[in-house]
Amino acid sequence: MPSKHNILLITTDQMRYDALGCNGGTVARTPVIDGLASRGINYRRAHNQNVVCMPARATIITGQHVETHGVWMNGVSLPEDTPTIAHWLGEHGYRTALLGKAHFEPWLGDPAIFYENRMAGEDNRGPHRGFERMELANHFFEGHSHYDRWMEANHKAEKANFYPMVTAKGQNTIGRGDTGAIQVWPTDVPRSLYHTDWVADRTIDWLSGLPGTDPFFCWMSFPDPHHPWDPPASEIHRVNWRDVPLPDLYSEDAAERERLLADKPPHWRGYYDGSLWTNLESPREFAPRSLTPDQIREINAMNHIENELIDEACGRVIAWLEAQGRLDDTDIFFTTDHGELQGDFGLLFKGPYHVDALMRLPMIWAPASSTSPVAAVVDRPVGHLDLASTFCQVAGIDTPEWVEGRPLPRSGEEAMAQKREYVLTTWDSEHGPVDMHQKSIYHHDGYLCTTYEKSALYDGSEGEFYNMREDPGQRVNLWADPGYRARRDELVALLYDALPKPRSPRLDRKAPV
């Protein structure tokens, strides 16, 4: 492989694996991203190492397990002196930028404490965390991001039409779509001002200013399709919510939904009916049992619309690279930080639930067009952990010793040669007196094993165990089934043997999400 290829990392926020046509999606039209998959490598079993934003993004940028980098939940900031793959590439001649959502620091944190939350107010665009250029956007107007300040200065009237950033009790459950669904908020704003197009614009602008001879590492990070679901109102014609099918894992029969939850550990049902709050990742006043089938359809329609806009924004950037003759030497990676429940099991948003909706990721690598064709599908497990070392391989440089992942395989045969047996995902959280600790291992034989460590809710003997080949929807929990006990115990032992020791001392949580 030629050295020092350019690297374009494209990420979304809260996109499901099955959102894309190349992964079985049937609603959103995603021809650009599907095209990357058709000419590159589509990883069918890519998992994150944590199912929420900050820990997942810290793994992407460090190539480390959560236990090593220490960002154990949202609100825990990645220390500013942490070495990142952006630092490493910069030290080896790369120009580096992050355009869009960063979220290495809590976006509700005090700007006096968190650099990312004050840099726009200081008219500062880096360097930070190894990126010589950072221009930030978020899905809420919290007063911190460059996109927020740009809208305030240039398009204040349009900015006022976005979903309100509110903290009053009950207000984060509002919606103004046809069904009144939570956080559905078609926005009266020109598409050209929406943050998806803004991120693409800023990416093209930064790339345009680079000398053609300098290799680049550019992270284009879209805030969507994360809630609130607020696409430009001019775009909602794309998907008629009335035509959107309900998820396979959602039953219109409330009794059937409750029977499905009865097979899960109790915090699942507690979230569903609002009796137990373990999940800061959704409004505290929201109980998913209140959702109607039509509300789920409308929420998912907005999600699909946002994904179409992302696909078209990617197409603009890729077309620019092609027009400049840069596709020949640019490797493109596409993934997300985590998924979204979108009605599965009657639930919404995300949280301490290790299921495909949240763990399984779209992950695509389209190597530079100057390389030999490598179109492939890889079914063996890989993870966010592996991106940093793959970037080093693309750059033709050594992988730093602090990276724990391995270069992604370029074929199924290479994945087998690498002995890609499993991938790990962990969860830790504390919300008042309620803590949660889960550790999961997905094995290539199709078993997903999640052990629940001792906490305020569990005594350490509970867990979940699924045969994903026979039960891909994770409907039947086999944790207590004697016929699977031996395999379950083997996987628990493998899990703890493979996990690094947790960072000590533990990083403090200094702010909300």
Do 366 and 452 lie in a common domain? no
Cβ 417 vs Cβ 513: under 8 Å: no
Higher pLDDT, 448 or 373: 448
Q: Answer whether residue 276 is part of any domain.
A: no
Do 467 and 346 lie in a common domain? no
Going by pLDDT thresholds of 50, 70 and 90, the confidence category of residue 370 is confident
Do 371 and 454 lie in a common domain? no
pLDDT of residue 372: 67
Do 131 and 105 lie in a common domain? yes
Going by pLDDT thresholds of 50, 70 and 90, the confidence category of residue 125 is very high
Segment 129-134 mean pLDDT: 98
Is the pLDDT score of 24 beyond 90?
A: yes
Do 226 and 338 lie in a common domain? yes
Is the pLDDT score of 511 beyond 70?
A: yes
What string of H, E and C letters represents the secondary structure of 48-70? CCCCCHHHHHHHHHHCCCHHHHC
pLDDT of residue 1: 40
Which residue, among 398, 367, 10, has the nearest Cα to 222 in the 3D structure?
10
Q: Answer whether residue 53 is part of any domain.
A: yes
Q: Which helix (H) or strand (E) holds 331?
A: strand 330-336
Helices (H), 46-185: 53-62, 66-69, 85-91, 146-154, 156-159
Phi/psi at 76 (nearest 5 deg)?
Answer: -100, 115
The set of long-range contacts for 395-399, using a CB threshold of 8 Å and a minimum separation of 24, is 395/3, 395/4, 395/5, 395/7, 395/89, 395/92, 395/94, 395/215, 396/1, 396/2, 396/3, 396/4, 396/5, 397/3, 397/88, 397/89, 397/92, 399/63
Do 361 and 438 lie in a common domain? no
Segment 228-250 mean pLDDT: 98
pLDDT of residue 280: 79
Do 232 and 201 lie in a common domain? yes
Going by pLDDT thresholds of 50, 70 and 90, the confidence category of residue 2 is very low
Last residue of a domain, one of 369, 387, 422: 422
Is the pLDDT score of 401 beyond 90?
A: yes
Do 441 and 377 lie in a common domain? no
Q: Answer whether residue 204 is part of any domain.
A: yes
Do 481 and 406 lie in a common domain? no
Reported as a single tens digit per residue, the pLDDT across 33-73 is 999 999 999 999 999 999 999 999 999 999 999 999 999 99
Q: Answer whether residue 282 is part of any domain.
A: no
Q: Which helix (H) or strand (E) holds 43?
A: strand 41-43
pLDDT of residue 277: 86
Number of residues in the chain: 513
Cβ 365 vs Cβ 408: under 8 Å: yes
Reported as a single tens digit per residue, the pLDDT across 139-191 is 888 888 999 999 999 999 999 999 987 655 656 899 999 999 999 999 999 99
Q: Burial code of 332-348, b = ≥16 C-beta within 10 A, e = fewer?
A: bbbbbbbbbbbbbbbbb
Last residue of a domain, one of 422, 445, 464: 422
Write the DSSP symbol of residue 376.
E
pLDDT of residue 371: 78
Write the DSSP symbol of residue 229.
B
Query: What's 482's domain CATH number?
Result: 3.30.1120
Q: Which helix (H) or strand (E) holds 302?
A: helix 293-323
Is the pLDDT score of 449 beyond 90?
A: yes
pLDDT > 90 fraction of the chain, expressed in percent and rounded: 91
Segment 238-254 mean pLDDT: 97
CA dist list (Å): 219 to 95, 204, 384, 502: 11, 12, 14, 28
pLDDT of residue 61: 98
Token code pair at residue 254: 């409330």
**CA atoms of 117 and 285, how far apart (whole Å):** 27
pLDDT of residue 165: 73
Which residue, among 63, 62, 67, 105, has the nearest Cα to 428 in the 3D structure?
67
- Give the total number of structural domains in the chain: 2
For residue 233, the tally of other CB atoms under 10 A from its CB is 14
Q: Alpha carbon 193 to chain centroid distance?
A: 23
Do 63 and 166 lie in a common domain? yes
Last residue of a domain, one of 422, 451, 467: 422
Do 430 and 372 lie in a common domain? no
- pTM given for the model: 0.97
Q: Answer whether residue 483 is part of any domain.
A: yes
**CA atoms of 294 and 286, how far apart (whole Å):** 17
pLDDT of residue 196: 98
**Amino acid identity at 309:** L
Is the pLDDT score of 513 beyond 90?
A: no
Token code pair at residue 441: 């291992």
Question: Could you tell me the residue range of the domain that residue 442 belongs to?
Answer: 424-498
Segment 355-360 mean pLDDT: 98
pLDDT of residue 224: 98
